Amino acid sequence: MFDTVKKNLEARGFSVRTFATAAEAAAHLNGAIDGKTVGFGGSVTLKDMGLYELLGSHNEVHWHWVNGPEERQAAMGTQVYLSSANGLAETGEIINIDGSGNRVASTLYGHEKVYLVIGRNKLAPTYDEALWRARNIASPKNAQRLGKKTPCAVKGDRCYDCRSPERICRGLVVLWAPMLGMETEVILVDEDLGM
Partner 1 sequence: MTSLERTAAALRQRGFAVSVFETAEAAADYLDASIDGRTVGFGGSQTLEAMDLWERLRTHNRVFSHLHGFPLGPEAAGAQVYVTSVNGLAETGEVINIDGIGNRVASTLYGHEKVYLVAGRNKIAPTYDEALLRARNVAAPKNARRKQMKTPCVQGDRCYDCKSPERICRALTVLWAPMLGMETEVVLIDRDLGY
Pairing status of strand 94-98 against strand 171-175: antiparallel
Cα-to-chain-centroid distance, residue 4: 20
- CA 121/CA 62 separation, integer angstroms: 27
Cβ 29 to partner 1 shortest distance, Å: 22
* 65 lies in the site for partner 1, by CB under 8 A: no
Cβ 36 to partner 1 shortest distance, Å: 18
Q: Which of 118, 143, 169, 189 binds partner 1 (CB under 8 A)?
A: 169
**Nearer of residues 70 and 192 to partner 1, judged by Cβ:** 70
Q: Which of 110, 132, 144, 191 binds partner 1 (CB under 8 A)?
A: 110
Name the residue among 121, 123, 153 with its Cα closest to residue 140.
153
Q: Which of 79, 160, 173, 191 binds partner 1 (CB under 8 A)?
A: 173
* 54 lies in the site for partner 1, by CB under 8 A: no
* 106 lies in the site for partner 1, by CB under 8 A: yes
Backbone angles phi, psi at 114, to 5 degrees: -120, 135
* 43 lies in the site for partner 1, by CB under 8 A: no
**Nearer of residues 9 and 193 to partner 1, judged by Cβ:** 9
Type of residue found at 127: Y
Name the residue among 110, 117, 115, 116 with its Cα closest to residue 181.
110
Q: State the alpha helices, DSSP H only, in 49-118.
A: 51-56, 64-67, 71-76, 102-106
Q: Which residues bind partner 1 (CB under 8 A)?
A: 11-13, 73, 76-77, 98-102, 104-106, 108-110, 161, 163, 165, 167-182
